[in-house]
Amino acid sequence: MFMGHVLLQHLPNLLIPPQFRTFGIATDFLQAQSLYTVAKLDIADYLGTETKTAEELAKLSNVHPESLCRLLRFMVSVGYFTEVDYTTCSFKNNRHSNVLMKSDPYTMKDVVIHMSDHYADFTNLLETVKVGAQTQKSKQYWANLETNARMRKTVANAMTQITSMENEIISSDYDFSKFNVIADIGGGNGHYLAYLLKNNKNMTGVLFDLPRVIEDAKLVWTSELNMTFERVDMISGSFFDKIPSRTLSDDRQIDAYIMRSILHDWSDDASLSILQTVRKAIPKDKVLLIIEIVFDEPYDYNIAKRRSDTTMQIIGGKERSRSQFERLLSEAGFVLNKVVSTRSIHSVVEAIPK
C-alpha cells in the first residue's frame, strides 16, 4: 500500500524461479481460505496472550482437533501463529496472527471475512472478463447488503479496518480543516467523518448512506466511535435520487462533499448518474472531494491498485485514471480542479461545479 510495498511487490519475481512463482500464485487461494477459516473460528481471539493446544482450541471452536492442528501448522508456514510445543500441538499468537483478533487495535479480522464473502464471485472472473463488468451487479451487491445484517456489519467493519489505516495520512496530506460543514456521501458507519470531527473541533458533519446503514451507524457512532450527535446529522437516502445540500439541525450550507471509495464501485454510467445527483445539490462555490485510487497514466502496475481494480471488476465497478475522472466529472457538470496525491494509494480528486 505504501511506497515500500510497491518496491517489495517485485521481489518475489526477482527471487523465485518462474515455475515455482507460478505454482505459488496458482495455490494462493489456499492461504486466503486458511486465513478466512482461522478468522471465522476465532482462533486468534481464543489464544489472546496465552498458549493453547489444538485440542483446547478445537473444543472452544467446536471443530476437529487434528484438522485444526494441521491447519494451524500451515498457517505457521506462511507466518501466522507460533507453534510452542510440537508434541502437544500448542500455539500462541505472533505479530501477524494478532491482527486476526477482534480486540487488536490494528485488527483486520472483518477484512479477511469480507474478502471471503467475495470468494464465490471471484470464481466468476472468467465469465466477467468475457462479458465485461455489469452495473446490475453493483446494484444487486448493495441491495443484498440492505437485507443481510451480518454481511452489512462485516462490510462496514472491513471498510473501517481498511480505510482507518490511511485516515491520518490522507487527512494530513490534504487540508480538510478549511471546511466548516462537511458531508460524507456513502460514508458507511461514519468512522471517517468521526475522525475528521475529532480532529477539527469547529467542523460539523453530515453522514449520508442507505437507510439500514444509517440505522447501524447511529449505534456505532456512540458505542464504538465514542461520539455524540451534537455536531452531526445522519441522513438516509440513495445517491441515485437526492443528497442533502444543507444540514438538517441548523440549516447550514454544506461546504465540501466527500465521496470516499464510492465511484470505484460503479460503472461509468452509474457513476455519471451519482455525480449528476451530487451536482444538483452542490452550489457553484462549494467543492466535491473524491477520495479514490487514481491510476498513473499511461499505465500503473501498483499491485494494491490493480488488486482493487480486479475486485471492482467483479462487483461491477472500476478504478480510474485522472483523465477518466476528468471526462466523467465534465459530463456531470464539474471541472477537475486538482488531484492531490497522498502517501497512501488513494488521492483526493478536487472537483468544482462548472
Ligand X SMILES: C[S@@+](CC[C@H](N)C(=O)[O-])C[C@H]1O[C@@H](n2cnc3c(N)ncnc32)[C@H](O)[C@@H]1O
Can you read off the three cell numbers belonging to residue 132? Answer: 465485461
Is 316 a binding residue for ligand X by CB under 6 A? The answer is: no
Its sign, for the CA torsion 225, 231, 235, 238, is: negative
Does 213 bind ligand X (CB under 6 A)? Our answer is yes
| 187 binds ligand X, rule: CB under 6 A | yes
The footprint of ligand X on this chain (CB under 6 A) covers a number of residues equal to 17
Q: Which residue is catalytic, options 5, 64, 118, 264?
A: 264
* Binding residue for ligand X, selected from 159, 234, 314, 348, defined by CB under 6 A: 159
The one among 80, 81, 91, 142 contacting ligand X by CB under 6 A: 142
Tell whether residue 318 is a contact of ligand X (CB under 6 A): no
Based on CB atoms, which residue is closest to ligand X, 238 or 324?
A: 238
Closest CA to 117 of 315, 345, 303: 315
Q: How far is the CB of 5 from ligand X (least distance, A)?
A: 20
288: contact with ligand X by CB under 6 A: no
- Part of the chain binding ligand X (CB under 6 A), chosen from 7-15, 180-188, 278-286, 317-325: 180-188
Is residue 309 a contact point for ligand X (CB under 6 A)?
A: no
Under rule CB under 6 A, residue 347 binds ligand X: no
Rounded to whole angstroms, how far apart are CA atoms 171 and 197?
11
Q: Taking the complex as a whole, how short is the minimal distance between the CB of residue 95 and ligand X, in angstroms?
A: 25
Return the residue nearest ligand X (CB atom): 186
What whole-number distance in Å separates Cα of residue 43 and Cα of residue 60? 9
Residue from the set 80, 81, 239, 257 that interacts with ligand X by CB under 6 A: 239
Give the nearest distance from C-beta 121 to ligand X in angstroms: 15
Q: Which is nearer to ligand X, 45 or 265 (CB)?
A: 265
Q: Among residues 89 and 287, whose Cβ is nearest to ligand X?
A: 287
Q: Binding to ligand X by residue 195, rule CB under 6 A?
A: no
CB 227 within 8 A of CB 187: no
d(CA 180, CA 144) in angstroms, rounded, equals 35
Distance CA 27, CA 354 (A): 50
Give the closest residue to 197 by CA, choosing from 215, 188, 184: 184
Choice from 116, 261, 308, 344 touching ligand X (CB under 6 A): 261
Report if residue 186 touches ligand X, rule: CB under 6 A: yes
Q: Closest separation between CB of residue 63 and ligand X, Å?
A: 32
State which of residues 89, 108, 203, 210 lies at the interface with ligand X (CB under 6 A). Answer: 210
Task: Please list, in sequence order, all residues whose beta carbon lies within 8 angstroms of the beta carbon of residue 295, skipping any fewer than 6 positions away.
Answer: 305, 309, 319, 320, 321, 322
Amino acid present at 33? Q
Cis? peptide before 18, omega within 30° of 0: no
Cβ closest to ligand X, residue 72 vs residue 258: 258
**Site for ligand X contains 229 (CB under 6 A):** no
What minimum distance in Å lies between the beta carbon of 268 and ligand X? 16
**Burial environment of residue 121 by CB neighbours within 10 A (0 to 12, 13 to 18, 19 or more):** middle
64 is catalytic: no
Of 56, 233, 265, 350, which one interacts with ligand X (CB under 6 A)?
Answer: 265
231 touches ligand X by CB under 6 A:
no
By the rule CB under 6 A, 271 interacts with ligand X = no
Question: Measuring CA to CA, which residue among 71, 74, 75, 42 is closest to residue 59?
Answer: 42
Catalytic residue set: 264
Residues in the site for ligand X, rule: CB under 6 A? Answer: 142, 159, 163, 186-188, 192, 209-210, 213, 238-240, 260-262, 265
